[in-house]
Amino acid sequence: MKLSIITVSYNTKELTLQTLESAIKEINSSKILKDQTEIFVVDNDSKDGSPKACEDLLKKLKFPHYQVFANKENLGFARANNQATEVAKGKYIILLNSDTITQKGGLSLLVEAMDNNGIGEITANSKNSGELDKLGIIAPTLLNPDGSIQNQGGSIPSLMTVASQMLFLDDIPFIGKLFPSTQHTGMSDFAFQSYDENTPKLISKGWIAGTAMMIRRELIDDIGMLDGNIFMYGEDQEYCMRARNHHWDVAIHPKAKITHFGFASSSSRNAIHGEIKGYLYIWKKHMPTWQLPFLKLILWKGVVLRQIIYTLRGKEVPASIYKDARALLK
């Protein structure tokens, strides 16, 4: 198999069916993917009939290589993806969210980049590491439903990059570009790297989102699978950190496009609290012990700052979410 697609579903039946249909349409139109792709759906104990609906669709479309896992409990994002990764046969594996639509070329362009190795002239990790090795993880350009570019990924987590994100340092006019950030959504130069479709260069990142993360099989053999101790949020950062520590390059393809509906498969509360829990776990696993109190202080200030901002803007729901998040930092 050239490619293994893994989609984890949890009470998103209609969205998951849409995800599968668009992926299969792309597969059938691609010379390098047709008959060389397998699909895994891992359902985390949905109550909306997702497993049977996915099975029926794959049979209806006569897709030749697939398997549907119907779990009896919610294993979380990482463990569910690992469940399928263990039996996947693809040279490349893509973790594809259940709330995505694959655009034409969205998968085949990623595979072509992997096949071409993506070393040297088409990656740009030289400013982030002393040595270029090989392309191990690649993501498409994510689009919002309106067609605009959806920010994803950022710099490898550190006290500086988390502070830049949480304290809005990368949003400061004129000088924000001097602050690399864990989330490339502010004024940092990293957030405005070119997405010019006419350039062959991939866009280097410290980490990219697990929304549509394609991974080379050799990388999995080298560093293992996602960390199953992370239920959801932060597993993509942690995985890319491990990859980069083993000299694998991480990048975004400017021409490959996949639409992502954002928080359709998770609540804002889960996302915000999950992000904080993810940072805490990453620091306990990878960083020096002395850094943890400083991380908690940075996160606490960022949480309080957001609580104040949302309160002043009259947005009670996000304000309460950030107020509750303070308990995670005790």
pLDDT tens digits along 126-138 = 344 444 458 999 9
149 Cβ contact list (under 8 Å, min separation 6): 141, 142, 143, 195
Between 221 and 189, the higher pLDDT residue = 221
Give the other-Cβ count within 10 Å of 284's Cβ.
11
Measured distance CA(267)–CA(10) in Å, rounded: 12
User: Is residue 21 scored above 90 in pLDDT?
Assistant: yes
pLDDT of residue 198: 59
Q: What are phi and psi of 254, to 5 degrees?
A: -70, -20
Provide the percentage of residues in the chain whose pLDDT is more than 90.
76
Chain centroid to CA 114: how far? 18
Q: Per residue in 237-272, pLDDT tens?
A: 999 999 999 989 999 998 999 999 975 444 588 889
**Sign, Cα dihedral of 165, 166, 167, 172:** positive
pLDDT of residue 195: 55
For 31-44, what is the mean pLDDT?
Answer: 97
Measured distance CA(190)–CA(178) in Å, rounded: 9
Q: Which residues pair with 138 in a beta bridge?
A: 214, 251
324 Cβ contact list (under 8 Å, min separation 6): 269, 273
For 11-34, what is the mean pLDDT?
Answer: 96
CA distances from 222 to 44, 212, 225, 242 (A): 27, 21, 9, 10
- Listed in order, strand segments (DSSP E) in 144-247 are 203-204, 212-216
Measured distance CA(130)–CA(143) in Å, rounded: 32
CATH for 3-149+195-265 is: 3.90.550.10
pLDDT of residue 151: 86
Containing 281, the helix (H) or strand (E) segment is helix 268-286
User: Is residue 116 scored above 90 in pLDDT?
Assistant: no
Q: What residue has token string 């496009």?
A: 257
For 99-122, what is the mean pLDDT?
Answer: 83
- Listed in order, strand segments (DSSP E) in the chain are 3-9, 37-43, 66-70, 92-96, 100-102, 134-143, 203-204, 212-216, 248-260
pLDDT of residue 119: 43
Determine how β-strand 248-260 pairs with β-strand 100-102.
antiparallel
Q: Per residue in 176-185, pLDDT tens?
A: 888 889 988 7
For 151-156, what is the mean pLDDT?
Answer: 91
3-state secondary structure of 68: strand
Residue 96, phi-psi category: left (phi > 0), alpha (psi -120 to 50), beta (remainder):
beta
Between 190 and 95, the higher pLDDT residue = 95
Measured distance CA(279)–CA(207) in Å, rounded: 14
Measured distance CA(100)–CA(268) in Å, rounded: 18
Mean residue pLDDT across the chain: 89
| Among 101-115, 120-134, 147-161, 249-263, the least confident range | 120-134
pLDDT of residue 173: 84
